[in-house]
Structure 1
Amino acid sequence: MSRRPRLLTHLALILWTLIALFPVWLVIINSMKSRRAIFAEPLALPGPKSFDLVGYQTVLKQGDFLLYVQNSLIVTVVSLALVLLFGAMAAFALAEYRFRGNRLMGLYLALGIMIPIRLGTVAILQGMVATGLVNTRIALILVYTAQGIPLCVFILSEFMRGLSDDLKNAARIDGLSEYAIFFRIILPLVRPAMATVAVFTMIPIWNDLWFPLILAPAEAVKTITLGTQVFLGQFVTNWNAVLAALTLAIGPVLVLYLIFSRQLIRGITAGAVK
């Protein structure tokens, strides 16, 4: 009886993956076609007559594309590491210790999920100007870390409340400090949940255009999403270059996704079958 639910779960994951990858596949095949072929046959594979790499040539010649990818990688990876570290520590404190204001603190963090951080754009920009962090990657890292922590705490705290108290008490009896318990016992047990948080946090960071445009528009700190906008004009858009840039931008984030995918699938299917 247990094989059928497991099979249905895997089939659903495969179907979800195919649906999610179809737009990616569409972007990739059209990035290698001529402009006329993109609009004439968008679903067709590149052929001898339609194959054209002019988009990639334009991307590599115009602008510093590799620098944009490097900036996006640094901002995404550092922000993700800080979100997982501080979010997990805050979640452990809320789930493990009982203190005055515990529920109020949890509610405050939950409000960070419901209220978009973009509503505070003006205040954030004023703060970055006052501290001299405009046109730096640090500004983006700070904003994305603040943006991702509420969701991280909300998810991980629920997982940590379900961990065995006997395991933690046994570690305390053996003389482990709270930091040792957190890093050596708690974190390995919540890795599937952390991978889930990582995937749902890194995609909005990598694809964000709002804060890079406002806080870091300088050429030296442009992200890949902002750098791609150079090919989008008010009257004319270079679709070959746009699709080529998007195809090249898919690679790094796809690698990050594959790193977390195994733990992500474990986190999604945890408790689904017995």
Structure 2
Amino acid sequence: MRFTSFFSGLFLLLTGHLAFAATLSVATASNFSDTLKRIAPAFEKATGHHLRISAASSGKLYAQIRHGAPYDLFLSADAARPIALEQEGLNLPGSRFTYAVGQLALWAPDPANHGLAQKRLENHQFRRLAIGNPKTAPYGIAAMETLKQLGLWDALVNDAARGENIGQTFQFVATGNADIGFVALSQLIQAKIDPAQYWVIPAQHHQPILQQGIILKRSANKKAAERFFDFIKGPAAEQILRESGYLLEAAKE
């Protein structure tokens, strides 16, 4: 009888845990996709909840959310779009926060010119430059601001290859369609690119890339979404964020 009661209790405990497990639909900016895929297993192990990840440009995801896309969470590569959704009343009040600060890098993979990415840009020693589209990609805005800071925007804007998101911009350079390009530092670290191939852009060259997230008001999994936000603020996720090339100190200011 005792054994029966024990196993009955264990069954109820396990099935109860499964009953409360949720699958969160997460809309994430392209630059954060690989990092989120590293965070997901740790979150799932700690909570029992699962993540279903959809990656695209922040601008595209913002438009989808405004048109009713059934996401639970939005992890943008900027602050502007989460703020806009907040102003439109589409987020769970009080949920918006900065989960990371991105870093921009100029990637020039030509092995004959390692360590010379900055000079190649300033001296126009390249065939084609790739940047994210400033209209849809926050890292594209940072690239535009950097080029303006260096006095190069007017000379380069018309010939630049523009990626819809930072993932496409990375592919332009990786495939040789552009021989130099502004990408996210996190992408280069994820791809294990030799640091001699890129220049990490000084922070003063552009506005901070504050990457903010919100919980959508229409989410049916708000409690699980709140647990994810608590988790991403914790030490396990913070270690992954730092290893992936994101800054955290500025995010907490």
Task: Report TM bin, short chain.
Answer: under 0.3
Q: Which has a greater percent of helix?
A: 1
Q: Which has a greater percent of strand?
A: 2
